[in-house]
Structure 1
Amino acid sequence: MAKSVDANELKQHKSDESAWVVVDGKVYDVTDFLDDHPGGKKILLKNCGKDASEAFWTYHSEKILEKVAKDMEIGEFKDSAKL
C-alpha cells in the first residue's frame, strides 16, 4: 500500500536533508537526486514541499516520470487543496 502524505508532512521536506515533491498527486523523494538534477539543485529545492505539477510539466515529459522518477515515488498526496 502506498504511503499517504498530507500537506503538513510534505512541507517538512524541502531541504538538502529531505526533499519531497508532488507531481500529479504522487509524492516523490528527490533527496538523492538533488546533486544529479540537470537543472540544478536550487530549482528542484524551490519546488519541494509543495505541488510542483505545473513547473514539472513546463520542462519535462511523461518519459521522465517513467524512467527517472518512478523509483523515487513514495506515496500519494492526500490533500485535495493546492499548496
Structure 2
Amino acid sequence: MSKTLTAKEVSDHATADSAWVIVDGGVYDVTEFVEEHPGGKKVLLKACGKDSSKQFWQFHNEKILKKVAAQYRIGSVGETSKL
C-alpha cells in the first residue's frame, strides 16, 4: 500500500537502522539494501533522509528505478512536502 509522506517524515530516516530516500517524488525504504549497495553503504546513507533525485540519476538509469528500487517503494512525498 502506497502512502503520502511529508519531507519531515523522510528526514527522520537517515541512519543505517532506518534509511529512506526520495527519488522523483517516490519514497524508498532502503534500510535492507544499505549493506548490498554496489557503491557502498556510506554513499547511500549520505543520500538518505532527503530528495536525492539528482544524485540518483547521475549514477543510475530508469531500469534500476523500475526493477531494483520498486520493491523498496513505500509511498510518495506530498506536493506541499518538497525538500
* 2:4 matched residue in structure 1: 4
* 1:48 matched residue in structure 2: 48
Shift of 1:30: 0.3
Give the % identical residues. 55
* 2:25 matched residue in structure 1: 25
In structure 2, how many angstroms separate the alpha carbons of the residues matched to 1:42 and 1:79? 29
* 2:58 matched residue in structure 1: 58
Check the 8 A contact 2:7/2:82 in 1, yes or no. no
TM-score between both structures, scaled by the size of structure 1? 0.93
From the two aligned structures, give the one with the greater strand fraction.
Answer: 2
Secondary structure in structure 2 of the residue aligned to 1:19:
strand
- The one-letter code matched in structure 2 to 1:5 is L
Runs of 4+ in 1 over 3 A off after TM superposition: 79-82
Check the 8 A contact 1:7/1:79 in 2, yes or no. no
- Structure 1 gap ranges (5+): none
